[in-house]
Amino acid sequence: MARPVALITGISGQDGAYLAQFLLEKNYEVHGTSRDAALHSFPGLERLGVLSRVHLHSMVTTDFRSVLQTLKQVQPAEIYHLAGQSSVGLSFDQPVETLDSVAVGTLNLLEAIRFLGHPTRIYHAASSECFGDTHGEPAREETPFRPRSPYAVAKCAAFWEVANYREAYGLFACSGLLFNHESPLRPERFVTAKIVAAACRIARGSGEKLILGNLDVSRDWGWAPEYVEAMWRMLQRKEPEDFVVATGVTCSLADFCREAFAQVGLEWREHVESRPSLLRPSDLKISRALPEKARRLLPWQARRTMPEVVAELVRERQREDRA
């Protein structure tokens, strides 16, 4: 039998690298896209040891012709659409780029699938940020969206594009409303990676202070290599549906700091400062999830919660520092 063909947009990111590894283990032929594949080094794929096994293509999701040419060439059975500006904080500085890369990029993929007429299934990486402020109530698939950042607005638009093409044209198209998920592949512009890196440096005697924004914000933090399995499971179902993917456990950023510094034998309050100048224009105070539908129907359930995630991040960072 021929190997199933999968195309991953945004394969250079954290989720793209882990998903490529996961699909290769399931004997897929894996293709991935980047704006300029010839110039990108793909450090995540390299780190996981799978770079040589992935077919790479240059594709610009905001250019319909580019998308159409790539889909005609690859003819994927499954598309995992992970590409787009992925930083909530950066979206306040680059709102137009964020909307273009997320909403227009998603629309181009959906329209190309419809135009070509191939039986292609598409997974779209939505975001827990779509829910916005739920006033502490856990978000489920039916929870109304109240986006509070340009990134969240863009993800909401893309989510409804997927729903529209599913209903109007019968595409097998679904969205994963993923809550925060971490790994050693996270760059330090993400606050979790920033905290772990600083804790390890301070434990080695750097003498620095870690400067953060609001320590009272709470998030549901999971383990990225587990979450890519949920993406795959969504595309294996008989009918397309959207799913919340999370651990179901919410912790504050202060809890995350405490755990990271405890892993290196330090009291976090002695090394961390909060500064109002780092607060976002409209930050979410609490992000909480109810991933019951995923547990029941995919079936999928997170195995690691925040303490296990932090412990693994610190161990991996310490291994890197010793290398």
Percent of the chain with pLDDT over 90: 87
Residue 15 has a pLDDT of 97
Residue 82 has a pLDDT of 98
The answer for 161, left when phi > 0, alpha when psi is -120 to 50, beta otherwise, is: alpha
Position 136 pLDDT exceeds 80: yes
The answer for 187, left when phi > 0, alpha when psi is -120 to 50, beta otherwise, is: beta
Position 296 pLDDT exceeds 70: yes
Residue 86 has a pLDDT of 80
Q: What's the pLDDT tens digit per position in 166-219?
A: 999 999 999 999 999 999 999 888 999 999 999 999 999 999 999 998 899 999
CB neighbour burial string for 153-189, b if at least 16 within 10 angstroms, e if fewer: bbbbbbbbbbbebbeeeebbbbbbbbbbbbbbbbeee
- Range of lowest pLDDT (173-187, 262-276, 281-295): 281-295
Query: What's the rounded Cα separation, in Å, for the pair 178 and 246?
Result: 6
Residue 280 has a pLDDT of 62
Residue 103 · residue 154 · CB < 8 Å: yes
Residue 23 has a pLDDT of 98
Residue 110 has a pLDDT of 98
∠ CA 310-311-312 to the nearest 5 degrees? 90
Q: Residue ranges per domain, the chain?
A: 5-181+221-245, 188-219+250-287+305-322
pLDDT greater at residue 89 or residue 111: 111
The catalytic site residues sit at 127, 129, 151
CATH class of 5-181+221-245: alpha beta
Residue 13 has a pLDDT of 94
Percent of the chain as helix, strand, coil, to the nearest 5? 45, 15, 40
- Distances from the Cα of 44 to the Cα of 40, 47, 318, angstroms: 11, 5, 18
Position 306 pLDDT exceeds 90: yes
pLDDT greater at residue 138 or residue 323: 138
Position 90 pLDDT exceeds 90: no
Residue 277 has a pLDDT of 67
Residue 251 · residue 309 · CB < 8 Å: no
Angle, nearest 10°, between helix axes 191-203 and 306-322? 50
- Those residues whose C-beta lies under 8 Å from the C-beta of residue 311, and which sit 6 or more positions away, are 259, 263
Superfamily of domain 188-219+250-287+305-322: UDP-galactose 4-epimerase, domain 1 (3.90.25.10)
